[in-house]
Homo-oligomer: A and B are copies of this chain.
Amino acid sequence: MQESEISLRDKLIDTGLKLLLEGGPEALTLRKCAQLAGVSHAAPAHHFAGLRGLKTAMVGRGHEIFAQMMRDEMDAAPKDKNGQILAICQGYIQFSQQYRHLFNLMFVPPAEFAPDPARDDAAKASRDVLTALCKQHFPGPNQHFYEIAIWSLVHGYSKLLEIGRVQPGSQSQADIEFAKILKLLDFPGTQ
């Protein structure tokens, strides 16, 4: 019953996420998606603007999980500046590893997306997690630059990790390595 109540649109997004996360970007296909959802190959066209539209909708979902993951880490961490910055970064890195292919899809030039206010909102919401943190801990004229700095650092590290250019032994070792880097940079200026 419940199964028949979830819309085909949601079902296609779920199926798309499954295909992407398990098989990588090449496995994500409109036709496979439709087949797994039990509809004809042209059915998705009535819910999304082509493959691009489906990807866009999936990315919206991704940003929700992403923001939640960062918030969870922050909630579980010490509430001081150092603790919170490290926590948000660990959430960031954790998501990038756990949802590898989705993470990749999320950070792609806007031209590759279909126009979608829902995606824009979700992307903004996930960025706001960092913005709010910086507002609190880096007041003053340099707030924006600290935000870009933290974002660049953690995004770059996540990317290099993903493509195997940095190779700590495990997830926990990655956390340790990144924490060491934050410390080296004297990032929060308190330490």
Contacts and interface: CB of A to CB of B under 8 A. Distances in A.
Nearest to A123: B165
Contact of A109 (B110, B155, B162, B187): B162
Interface in A129-150: 142, 145-146, 148-149
* Chain copies in complex: 2
B149 A160 contact: no
Interface in A95-146: 107-110, 127, 142, 145-146
B146 A184 contact: yes
A28 to B, nearest CB: 15
A116 to B, nearest CB: 15
A153 B149 contact: yes
Contacts of A110: 163-164
Given A153-B153, A154-B156, A109 B163 contact: yes
